[in-house]
Amino acid sequence: MTLRIRGVVKAAQKAQDSLNNGISSQEVAAFKAFVTSSLEEIEQLCDRGRMTPEQLPSRSRLAYSFLKGIDLDNLPVLESCIASPKKAPIPLKNIKVRQRSILQQLSYLAASSTPKTGSFQKLLDSLTHAVAEIENICLQQQATPADLSSSSGSIYVWMKFLSDRSHLQLHLQATRSTRQIAQAVSRKHCQELGNVTVEVTYQAGLYKYRRQGNVATLTISEGFIHANGEVLTALVTDALLGKSQERSRLVKDFANSPEYSQVLLELDSFACENRDKAQGKCYDLEELFDRLNREYFASSLVKPRLSWTRLNTYRKFGYYHPAKDRVAISSTLDDARIPQFVAEFVLYHELLHKYHGAKMVNGRRMVHTREFRLDEQQFKFYQEASRWLEKLAWNQSQVFELEQWL
- From first to last of its 406 residues, the chain has per-residue pLDDT tens of 556 677 787 888 788 777 766 677 778 888 888 889 888 888 888 888 888 888 888 778 877 877 887 878 777 666 444 444 556 778 888 888 988 889 888 888 888 777 677 889 999 999 999 999 998 888 888 887 877 887 888 899 899 999 999 999 999 999 999 999 998 988 888 777 777 889 998 887 788 888 888 888 999 999 999 999 999 999 999 998 888 989 988 998 888 787 887 788 778 777 655 555 788 888 999 999 999 999 999 999 888 888 888 666 666 788 887 767 888 888 888 888 888 999 999 999 999 998 988 777 776 777 788 899 999 999 989 998 888 888 776 555 544 443 443 3
Q: Are residues 165 and 277 in the same domain?
A: no
Q: Are residues 251 and 114 in the same domain?
A: yes
Q: Are residues 331 and 396 in the same domain?
A: yes
Q: Are residues 254 and 277 in the same domain?
A: no
Q: What b-and-e string marks burial along 81-109, b requiring 16 or more CB atoms within 10 Å of the CB?
A: beeeeeeeebebeebeebbeebbebbbeb
Q: Are residues 185 and 231 in the same domain?
A: yes
Q: Are residues 106 and 209 in the same domain?
A: yes
**Coil, strand or helix at 46:** helix
Per-residue confidence (pLDDT) for residue 398, from 0 to 100 = 45
With beta carbons less than 8 A apart as the criterion, state whether 368 and 348 touch. no
Q: Are residues 288 and 250 in the same domain?
A: no
Per-residue confidence (pLDDT) for residue 124, from 0 to 100 = 93
Per-residue confidence (pLDDT) for residue 168, from 0 to 100 = 93
Residue 320 lies in a domain: yes
Q: Are residues 225 and 337 in the same domain?
A: no
Residue 86 lies in a domain: no
Q: Are residues 228 and 369 in the same domain?
A: no
User: CA 288, 290, 295: angle at the middle one, nearest 5?
Assistant: 95
Residue 90 lies in a domain: no
Residue 209 lies in a domain: yes
With beta carbons less than 8 A apart as the criterion, state whether 42 and 8 touch. yes
Q: Are residues 253 and 283 in the same domain?
A: no
Per-residue confidence (pLDDT) for residue 314, from 0 to 100 = 60
Domain that holds residue 323: 272-401
Q: Are residues 132 and 62 in the same domain?
A: no
Residue 118 lies in a domain: yes
Domain count, the chain: 3
Look up residue 73 and give its amino acid: D
Q: Are residues 224 and 291 in the same domain?
A: no
Residue 3 lies in a domain: no
